[in-house]
Amino acid sequence: MHMNRTVLDASELEKRIGYVFQNKAVLRRALTHRSFSADHNERLEFLGDSVLNCVIGSALFLRDKHFTEGVLSRARANLVCEKALNEIAREIDIGAFILLGDGEIKTGGVQRPSILADACEAVFGGVFLDGGFSAAQEVILRLYEPILTSAAMAHERLDKDAKTKLQEYLQGLRYPLPEYKVLNIAGAAHRQVFHCSCSIARLGIVELGEGTSRRAAEQIAAEKALQKAMQAAGS
């Protein structure tokens, strides 16, 4: 028995993404969280992540021939991360279609960024499995179009991440590179929370970061450490 919760018909999601599945079971699996059923969306999420990286990478490559490899890598990372996927998730309200177990419903899983982002990737993987690469590419580019347009490609999409900025800043001062450590990993396997530290021994700085992945936690710690380092150096 599952809790009473209104889940919208998946056919409405098909309208929102502009693709009709031949095999509806694939779409259902893409929208099924592991807390609801053993036939869940994690394998499709893996597939969708690969397809998304390829499609966005290709779109960025074709978009501006002046983009260097470094800029392309940073822009792609910023466009396929959880934050960007949640922009897509909110636009199509994918949370209204996800099948969740009682525990996840009670703890607000319908709005949890990681669950929404994973479901988006699973849907992309499902489209690829059901209709091939061209179909998946069309869906992804249609949903990402507002983000990929020239006006919307804000500086932050192309900017260096915090870890890169911190490394380059310290190198400019001829200081040793920062040291990152994972202090703790809490939570269940499917919703882990990472606690990491970023240390700059030369300046006596130690900052902490928390995130749903090691990379996210390190980036938050690096951003804090960079601010402290700049203050310490009088920048």
What is the model's pTM? 0.68
pLDDT at 152: 46
The C-alpha atoms of residue 137 and residue 123 are separated, in whole angstroms, by 12
Q: Is the pLDDT of residue 222 over 80?
A: yes
Residue 43's nearest CA partner among 124, 140, 138, 136 is: 124
Query: Between 161 and 151, whose confidence is greater?
Result: 161
Q: Is the pLDDT of residue 156 over 90?
A: no
pLDDT at 33: 93
Active site residue 207: no
Active site residue 121: yes
The C-alpha atoms of residue 89 and residue 142 are separated, in whole angstroms, by 13
Spell out the residues 6+ positions from residue 212 whose beta carbon is closer than 8 angstroms to its own. 82, 113, 114, 191, 192, 193, 194
Among the options 121, 161, 207, 223, which is catalytic? Answer: 121
**28-55 residue pLDDT tens:** 999 999 999 999 999 999 999 999 999 9
**Domains of the chain, start order:** 10-158 (1.10.1520.10), 162-232 (3.30.160.20)
Among the options 45, 49, 82, 218, which is catalytic? Answer: 49
pLDDT at 190: 58
